[in-house]
Amino acid sequence: MNAAPAVAAAGTSIVRIRDLVKDYRRGAETVRVLDGLSLDIRQGDFVALMGPSGSGKSTLLNLIGGLDRPTSGTLEVEGLRVDELSAGSLGRWRADHVGFIFQMYNLLPVLTAERNVELPLLLTNLDREQRMRRVAAALKLVGLEHRARHRPRELSGGQEQRVGIARAIVTDPTLLLCDEPTGDLDRKSGDEILDLLQALNREYGKTIIMVTHDPHAAERAHRVIHLDKGMLSEGSG
């Protein structure tokens, strides 16, 4: 196993990864996607993860978000060993600490925008009134309070992604994980989404890790980290 030097950043680390390995089985073959990767991401950072297809960007994002488990190595988020959490604890941890933003928005088509945004809050003890207050605040923040009762098919791609962002921030998580958030949008809508992410980072102190293929999108990040064949190298954002 290759142990690469940690790609570190100054300040308090919110994400601390050491010697992370992820293997997948493809039939009889074992494919190593991440190969002894080490990385620190500090609180309030905006990191762009770039790299060619199959380089392991999304895999790394999934591991940081607790959607998947590493084959070996350690992964700490806010001082908590995420790789050691049980499936049930991982779910609760994700609900409380991580907001996910997907390329294809992944909204439930049968629910209105506000019901989609409300979904993560169903897992909390908030009553309906409190939930709806938070939903309204999140929708207002993304500039979609007037589209609250619309279903996803009645919204543009950019608006759908805004609803996705509202859903990701409605529980006020510290970490936002974005998987190609502008990948399905035109340049103008993409820029609006990136503006929004920048604002969330700058004004609300959200730590953002964004997977992207687009150098234009990566320019908005403080740091750009390149992944190739499961190994890291850092560039400037």
122 binds other proteins, rule: CB under 8 A: yes
**In the bound complex, what is the minimum distance in angstroms from residue 180's beta carbon to other proteins?**
12
CA distance 60 to 21: 10
**Where do the H-state alpha helices sit in the chain?**
57-64, 87-97, 113-118, 128-141, 157-169, 187-204, 215-218
Nearest CB to other proteins, comparing residues 45 and 179:
179
91 binds other proteins, rule: CB under 8 A: yes
**In the bound complex, what is the minimum distance in angstroms from residue 194's beta carbon to other proteins?**
22
Nearest CB to other proteins, comparing residues 31 and 110:
110
CA distance 228 to 84: 26
Say if CB 39 and CB 9 are below 8 A apart: no
Nearest CB to other proteins, comparing residues 27 and 109:
109
110 binds other proteins, rule: CB under 8 A: yes
For CA atoms 87, 89, 95, 99, the dihedral sign is negative
Q: Which of 1, 3, 31, 123 binds other proteins (CB under 8 A)?
A: 123
Q: Which of 84, 108, 149, 219 binds other proteins (CB under 8 A)?
A: 108
Distances (CA, A) of 59 to 110, 127, 193: 29, 36, 23
161 binds other proteins, rule: CB under 8 A: no
Instruction: Return the SS3 of 178.
Output: strand
| Tokens matching residue 164 | 């996705």
92 binds other proteins, rule: CB under 8 A: yes
Q: What's the start-to-end Cα distance of the chain, in Å?
A: 30
CA distance 135 to 131: 6
31 binds other proteins, rule: CB under 8 A: no
Q: Which of 56, 70, 73, 120 binds other proteins (CB under 8 A)?
A: 120
65 binds other proteins, rule: CB under 8 A: yes
68 binds other proteins, rule: CB under 8 A: yes
Nearest CB to other proteins, comparing residues 1 and 104:
104
- β-pair partners for 175: 98, 207
Stretch that binds other proteins, among 84-92, 153-161, 181-189, 197-205 (CB under 8 A): 84-92
Nearest CB to other proteins, comparing residues 114 and 192:
114
Residue of 46, 173, 62 whose CA lies nearest to 120 = 173
Residues forming the site for other proteins (CB under 8 A): 62, 65, 67-68, 87-88, 91-92, 94-96, 100, 102, 104, 106, 108-111, 115, 119-120, 122-123, 128, 131, 167
